[in-house]
A = this chain, B = another copy of it.
Amino acid sequence: MVDYICSYLDSIRDRRVFPGVQPGFVHDRIPENAPLDGEPWPDIFADVENVIMPGVTHWQSPRMHAYYPALTSYPSMLAEMLTNAINCLGFTWASSPACTELEMIVTNWLGKMIGLPYHFLHNKESDGGGVIQTTASESTLISLLSGRNITIQRYLKLHPDVPIHEIHSKLVAYCSDQAHSSVEKAALIGLVILRYVESDAEYSMTGAKLLEAITEDKKKGLIPFWVCATLGTTGCCSFDDLENVAQVCHKEQLWCHADAAYAGCSFICPEYRKWLKGVDLIDSIALNPSKWLMVHFDCTVMWVRNSSALHCAFNVSPLYLTHEFSGLAIDYMHWQIPLSKRFRSLKLWFVIRSYGVKGLQEHIKKGVKLAEKFESLIKADKRFEIPAKRHLGLVVFRLKGDNMTTETLCKRINSRGKIHCVPANLNGKYVIRFCITSQRTTEQDIETDWKEITDVTNNLLSENSLDIALQGNY
C-alpha cells in the first residue's frame, strides 16, 4: 500500500483529473451483497485500480483547480497511520490525555503562527483556546449556537418574563451575500433569521452596511445576535472588512465569527495579516489546515475567546464520562457537536514540525506566485476578463460577453477531464474559478493548463462565429 500510494502521487499528472464516468458506474462493478467468507487481500487490493480509481476526482493533481485545495503530505499521512493504530477516542481528558493535551499545544502553535491575540490561546489567565473541529461549516454552526445561547441568557436576565421561544423567534444572524452556503445551513439548524448584507464593489461586507441592517432590524423589534465575517469568500476570495465589522459587533454585543477557511492558512505569512485587523475584538475564528497547509482532511482549527460560551451550549455530563480530573483538565466534548474526536492534532504536529514555519510560508508564497502567473496569462488575452481582484491563489475569469459562452467553456473544460474548475456566480456574472491547489504545481503546469483553456476557447469561439455567420445566412 505504501508503494502504491507513492507511485499514485508521483504519477498523478498522468491521470484524468476529473473522471469521465456516469452516475451508477460503481454499481456494475461490485456485487449486490457482502461476501460470506473473507476474500484474499490481492483481490481486494486489485479493485482499488479497477473499481475505485476510475471514479476518483484527483484532488492532489496539479491539474485540480476546482473548489479550494485539499492537500495531503507524507508527514500528515504518517501521523494518521499512527492515529488509526492507536484509535483512541478523545472526548474527555481521561479517554486519552495525550490527544487532548497535544491538541491544546498545537492549536497554540498555529494560533501564534498566524498572530492571534493571547486571549485566543490556551493559557492560565483567560478562558480562550483552540480546538480542532471536523469542518469549517461545523465551526460556523458551533459559534452560531454559542452566540444564540449567550444572547438568550443575556436577554432573559433583562426580561425574565419573556418566554425563551419569543426571544428565539427574534434572533437575527448576519453575513455577506458572498458568504459560504454553510452559514445558511447553520441558520437553518439554529432556526434563526439569516440576513444577507449586500457586499460592496469589491465583494466585501463593510461595517457601515452591517450597522445599517442591524439598526433596521432593531427598529423592527428583532434581536441581532451573530455575524459571520468571511475572510476569503468561496466565489472570488474577497474579504469582509473585519476591522469595522468587529467594531460594530463589539458595540452592539453581537458574537463575531470569522470564517477564514482557506485564506486563514495564508496568515502564517505576515504580509497577509492585513485582513486580520480587528481580530482582537471578535469572538471566534476558524481556518482549515486541511485546505492549504498540507494537513489532509479533516482538520479545522477553531479558536474562541470564551470557551465557557461553548460549554454552556453543549455541556452534558453523565457519570460514565466523569473522571478523576473532571473540571481540572479540558474535556473537548464540551467544545464540539459530536461526543468523540479522532487524534487529529498528531497530523498537524507532524506537518508543522516537518516543514517548519518557513517551509509552510514558502508553500503559500509559491501558490500565490503561480496564481499571479495565471492571472498575467489571462490578462494578456483580450477575449477574457477578470471581474474580481485576484487574492492569494484564486483567479476568477470569464469570456467577455454573455454568461452562456463562459458556462459552455467551463462545461467543455471539465468534460475533457484534463483540468478541473468549478464556476461561481458573482452578482449575476458567471465566472470560472481557477485555484492553485497542489504543492506539486509548477510553472510548466500552469502553461499547459492555459494551453488547454485556450484550445477549448478557440474551438468554442470559432463555432460561435460560424453559428453567427450561418444565422446571418438565414
Contact = CB atoms under 8 A, between A and B. Distances in A.
Contacts of A434: none
Contact of A33 (B48, B88, B112): B112
Contact of A411 (B5, B25, B321, B324): B324
B89 A321 contact: no
A141 interface: yes
A34 B188 contact: no
A352 interface: yes
Nearest to A37: B356
Given A77-B81, A105-B27, A340-B135, A87 B297 contact: yes
B135 A353 contact: no
Q: How many copies does the complex hold?
A: 2
Interface in A31-83: 32-39, 41, 43-44, 48, 51-60, 66-67, 70-72, 75-78, 80-82
B96 A354 contact: no
A392 B141 CA distance: 37
Contacts of A81: 1-2, 5, 77, 80-81
A185 interface: yes
Given A102-B26, A102-B52, A36 B356 contact: yes
A84 B76 contact: yes
A189 B25 CA distance: 39
A44 to B, nearest CB: 5
Given A165-B166, A182-B339, A324-B411, 6 more contacts: A34-B112, A37-B358, A44-B353, A58-B86, A318-B425, A319-B425
23 contacts: A1-B82, A2-B81, A23-B328, A27-B105, A36-B356, A38-B353, A38-B354, A39-B356, A41-B354, A52-B102, A56-B98, A59-B88, A77-B81, A81-B81, A87-B297, A137-B339, A145-B189, A164-B191, A181-B318, A181-B321, A182-B339, A185-B337, A320-B423
